[in-house]
Amino acid sequence: GENVEQHPSTLSVQEGDSAVIKCTYSDSASNYFPWYKQELGKRPQLIIDIRSNVGEKKDQRIAVTLNKTAKHFSLHITETQPEDSAVYFCAASIGGNNDMRFGAGTRLTVKP
Amino acid sequence: GAGVSQSPSNKVTEKGKDVELRCDPISGHTALYWYRQSLGQGLEFLIYFQGNSAPDKSGLPSDRFSAERTGGSVSTLTIQRTQQEDSAVYLCASSNSGGAYIQYFGAGTRLSVL
C-alpha cells in the first residue's frame, strides 16, 4: 500500500527564516498531494495542495514543489512568523481516487 | 451543515465497555474518513467510505473496531471492549468525490478509557 514518509519530525527556526518540510511517497498512481496545518488542540486544515500535472504552486509565503520522477514533494514557508508554529502533515492520494495517506507530521516551532 | 460534525466531543469510558462515535459529514460529500490521533502523534488512517461502502478498511487495528455508514451520510465508529490503548482523539473527515479530494475535518472525539 501507499507509504508516505515525512521529514523532519521536528523543526525549529528563527522568525523570518525559511522552513522546508519534505515528503516521499511510494504509489506511482498518486496524483494529489495536500498539506495540512494543525494548531494545538485544533483540527487539521488544508493550507495548500498540488496535483501531479504541475511541478510547483505558490500562495503568498508558502509554496509546494513536486518531483514525480523521484516521488517526493516539499513544503516551503518563507519569512516565518510565530503563528506558523504548528504541526504540518503531508498526504498523498492512493490509486487516483479519494483514498489518502498522511505523513507522520512535522512539529514546526518559530522562535520570535 | 456548515462543516463536519462529530459527537460526542469527549467520551470517558471504563475498560471493557463499548463506545460509539458519530460523524456527520458535509452535506453532499460522498467520501468519509476516520483517523485516530494519539497525543502528539500523527494521523493514523482507520477506514475510508465511498458512499455506504468501505473500499479501504485496512487501517482498523483489530476486530474490536468497526464502522458503518448509512444513507451515504452519517457514519458511526464502534469500538467494542475498549482498552486503555484505545485512548486517543478520533477524527472524521469528508470530501467531495468529484475529484477535488480536499478533506475537511471535524473537531474530533477525545476518547479516554480508564
Question: CB B58 to CB A1 under 8 A?
Answer: yes
Q: How far apart are CA A21 and CA A88, in angstroms?
A: 8
CB-nearest partner of B101 from A44, A98, A105 = A98
Q: What is the interface size between A and B, counted as CB pairs within 8 Å?
A: 51
Most A CBs within 10 Å, among B103, B104, B110, to test the A interface: B103
Q: How far apart are CA A24 and CA A22, in angstroms?
A: 7
- B97 DSSP 8-state letter: T
Question: CB B105 to CB A45 under 8 A?
Answer: yes
Q: How far apart are CA A47 and CA A1, in angstroms?
A: 26
* Amino acid at the residue B101: Y
Task: State which residue of chain B sits closest to A102, comparing Cα positions.
Answer: B43
With cell 463499548, the residue in question is B18
Looking at residue A88, its pLDDT comes to 98
Looking at residue A94, its pLDDT comes to 84
Most B CBs within 10 Å, among A43, A45, A90, A106, to test the B interface: A43
Which among B18, B6, B24, B1 has a CA at the least distance from the CA of B110? B6
What are A18-36's pLDDT values in tens digits?
999 999 999 888 989 999 9
What are A65-85's pLDDT values in tens digits?
999 999 999 999 999 999 999
What are B47-79's pLDDT values in tens digits?
999 888 888 888 999 999 999 998 889 999 999
* pLDDT band for position A96 (cuts 50, 70, 90): low
CB-nearest partner of B42 from A42, A45, A104 = A104
**Which stretches in chain B have pLDDT values below 70?**
1, 97-100
pLDDT mean over A84-103: 89
Shortest Cα–Cα distance, B42 to chain A (Å):
5
Question: CB B41 to CB A105 under 8 A?
Answer: yes
pLDDT cut 70: percent of chain B above it: 96
Specify whether the CB–CB gap between B104 and B2 falls below 8 A.
no
Which among A91, A88, A98, A75 has a CA at the least distance from the CA of A22? A75
> CA B8, B6, A32 angle in degrees (round to 5)?
150
